[in-house]
Amino acid sequence: MRLVAYYPRGILAPIGLLAVMVPVGVVTHNIWIDALSGRISDMVDLEPNPQEAAEQACRALDCPHCSDPDQLGQYIVEGNLNFQTWINNSFIGEGDPFLASAKEDNAKALKAIQRTNLKAWVRHAKKLMTGEALENYMKWHPHG
């Protein structure tokens, strides 16, 4: 199965937080969440000490302790209602950003995936979950 770089448009969050590799075809919310969970697990595997990195990420994002770094994505994304709520409340565009199709790599998404490590991803997530991303958006786009 061929994977392509993708990110949902219309969500107020850095592309480095949202970008994932998905199978070619229709992208739904569930496909995106699964891909994001997998991306996080891949990022933690690249850390020098995956267990310590997973624990730090969980602490930073107020998630339950993750005893298995391979399940970090599930803890941070799938099992984190706070994170999912912030994503769902960060729509700024029209329509559902998850009713999309991915046919080829999105260059911006691919670059973001390649350049974003776990620490940077956690920083982006924390900014979103504290409302800082929205504050910055409103500063630069005062009329919405």
Count up the domains in the chain and report the number: 1
Structure confidence at residue 78 as a pLDDT band (50, 70, 90): confident
Average pLDDT over residues 128-143: 58
Range of the domain at 50: 3-140
Whole-number mean pLDDT of the chain?
A: 87
What pLDDT is recorded for position 14?
A: 87
**Smallest Cα–Cα separation from 88: which of 26, 12, 20, 143?**
12
Average pLDDT over residues 22-51: 95
**CA atoms within a 13 Å half-sphere pointing along the CA-CB vector of 16:** 18
Average pLDDT over residues 22-44: 94
The four Cα atoms 80, 116, 34, 47 give a dihedral, to 10 degrees, of -80
Task: Please give the residue that has the higher pLDDT: either 36 or 13.
Answer: 36
What pLDDT is recorded for position 141?
A: 46
Task: Please give the residue that has the higher pLDDT: either 135 or 87.
Answer: 87
CA distances from 68 to 54, 57, 77, 127 (A): 8, 12, 15, 25
> Reduced to 3 states, what is the DSSP secondary structure of residue 34?
helix
**Residue 24 pLDDT > 80, yes or no?**
yes
pTM to 2 decimals?
Answer: 0.87
Task: Please give the residue that has the higher pLDDT: either 72 or 141.
Answer: 72
